[in-house]
């Protein structure tokens, strides 16, 4: 939805663009841009040409430099829901100098809804060094109403079967409280997924890494003041401090890929 500020900015931008485009005269034929109708100083044309060529050269060189910088970096695909969306800037900032990071996220999505996007990016960016996964919160918030979340989790693991490193993010325990209120169910989806994550990491600690969001939130629950430094009032979505924590843990986990040592949880500040 466009706000009044957006409309003003859009109008101003459109006016600036119009000033740079050819104008139509009364016969709907293109007329020269007004500034070019004026008498220009001697040599101005050559100067303008030189400036334009310099701009093109700098643009090309910058693009080549960026391509050269990223060509040797390994691909990391990050897949998630609104929690990843809120942390996207921080994650990109944390990983950009070390990896070619590809972020796939969408608000309110369950595991199965994000599988097509993940598979697409895995196919596009072969070989992929690592997948950073942060899904399941919305499955938990729905209280297990989605009957297929377990098979979706299995499909997620199958999709990453040939990826050398998989970083799994545990789920905020508060999402199970929301789920229980919504549905009269004993199924605690977040707890079940967290158990699956820990079992995987224990079975192959060099390949499966944990970003323990659950452990951080559990610790913060004992200190309400600190909790709301990291989380919004719904206690599900993170604030900037929480986003920075997730990004730092993602980077630490990726750094330990291939090693059986699990990164320690970064304590809250």
CB-CB contact of 139 with 200 (8 Å): no
Residue 49 has pLDDT above 60, yes or no: no
Give the separation between CA 214 and CA 196, rounded to whole angstroms. Answer: 13
Mean pLDDT confidence for 89-98: 96
> What is the C-alpha to C-alpha distance for residues 119 and 170, in angstroms, rounded to an integer?
21
Grade residue 148 by pLDDT with cuts at 50, 70 and 90. Answer: confident
Mention every residue, 6+ apart, whose C-beta is less than 8 A from residue 176.
140, 188, 189, 190, 191
161 in Cβ contact with 256 (< 8 Å): no
pLDDT at 231: 95
Angle at 59 (CA atoms; ends 53, 60), nearest 5 degrees = 90
Residue spans of beta strands (DSSP E) within the chain: 23-24, 30-31, 74-80, 99-105, 128-134, 165-169, 208-211
**pLDDT at res. 169:** 98
Q: Is the pLDDT of residue 132 over 70?
A: yes
Classify 233 as helix, strand or coil. Answer: coil
Burial tier of 160 (Cβ tally within 10 Å: 0-12, 13-18, 19+): buried
pLDDT at 116 over 50: yes
**Which residue from 34, 96, 24, 31 is spatially nearest to 66, judged by alpha carbons?**
96
Question: Can you give the pTM of this predicted structure?
Answer: 0.73
Is residue 222 very low, low, confident or very high in pLDDT (cuts 50, 70, 90)? confident
State the Cα–Cα distance between residues 168 and 102, nearest whole angstrom. 16
- 32: pLDDT confidence band, cut at 50, 70 and 90? very low
- Find, among 87, 97, 69, the residue nearest to 132 by Cα: 87
**Residue 56: pLDDT over 90:** no
Which candidate, 226, 219, 198, places its Cα nearest to that of 210? 198
Task: Using the predicted structure, report yes or no on whether residue 250 has a pLDDT greater than 90.
Answer: yes
Q: Among 41-50, 60-69, 228-237, 243-252, where is mean pLDDT lowest?
A: 60-69
Across all residues in the chain, what is the average pLDDT? 78
Enclosing H/E stretch for 95: helix 82-95
φ and ψ at residue 73, rounded to 5 degrees: -90, 145
- Choose among 267, 145, 133, 118: nearest CA to 211: 133
**N-to-C CA span, the chain:** 37
Give the percent of the chain with pLDDT over 90: 59
- Of residues 70 and 66, more confidence is placed in 70
pLDDT at 165: 98
According to the model, what pLDDT value does residue 52 have? 45
With pLDDT > 70 as the criterion, what percentage of the chain qualifies? 68
Which of 40-49, 111-120, 144-153, 156-165 shows the lowest per-residue confidence on average (mean pLDDT)?
40-49
Q: Report the candidate in 115, 172, 100 with the shortest Cα–Cα distance to residue 140.
A: 172
Please check the confidence at residue 122 and state whether its pLDDT lies above 80. Answer: yes
State how beta strands 74-80 and 165-169 pair.
unpaired
Q: Provide the CB-side half-sphere exposure for 32 (13 A, CA).
A: 5
Rounded to an integer, the average pLDDT of 153-161 is 96
């Amino acid at each position: 939805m466009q706000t009044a500020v957006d409309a003003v900015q859009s109008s101003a931008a459109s006016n600036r663009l119009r000033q740079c485009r050819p104008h139509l005269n009364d016969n709907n034929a293109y007329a020269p841009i007004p500034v070019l109708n004026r008498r220009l100083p001697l040599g101005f044309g050559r100067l303008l040409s030189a400036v334009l060529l310099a701009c093109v050269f700098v643009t090309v060189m910058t693009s080549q430099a960026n391509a050269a910088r990223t060509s040797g970096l390994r691909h990391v695909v990050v897949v998630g829901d609104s929690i990843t969306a809120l942390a996207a800037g921080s994650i990109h900032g944390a990983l950009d100098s070390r990896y070619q990071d590809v972020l796939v996220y969408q608000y309110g999505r369950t595991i199965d809804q994000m599988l097509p996007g993940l598979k697409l990016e895995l196919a596009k960016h072969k070989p992929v060094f690592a997948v950073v996964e942060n899904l399941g919160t919305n499955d938990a918030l729905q209280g297990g109403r989605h009957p297929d979340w377990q098979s979706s989790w299995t499909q997620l693991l199958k999709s990453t079967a040939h990826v050398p490193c998989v970083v799994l993010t545990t789920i905020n325990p508060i999402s199970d409280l929301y789920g229980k209120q919504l549905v009269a169910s004993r199924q605690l989806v977040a707890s079940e997924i967290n158990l699956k994550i820990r079992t995987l990491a224990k079975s192959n600690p060099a390949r499966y890494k944990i970003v323990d969001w659950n452990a951080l939130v559990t610790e913060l629950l004992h200190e309400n003041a600190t909790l709301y430094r990291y989380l919004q009032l719904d206690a599900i979505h993170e604030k900037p401090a929480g986003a920075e924590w997730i990004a730092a843990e993602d980077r630490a986990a990726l750094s330990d890929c291939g090693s059986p040592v699990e990164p320690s949880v970064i304590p809250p500040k």
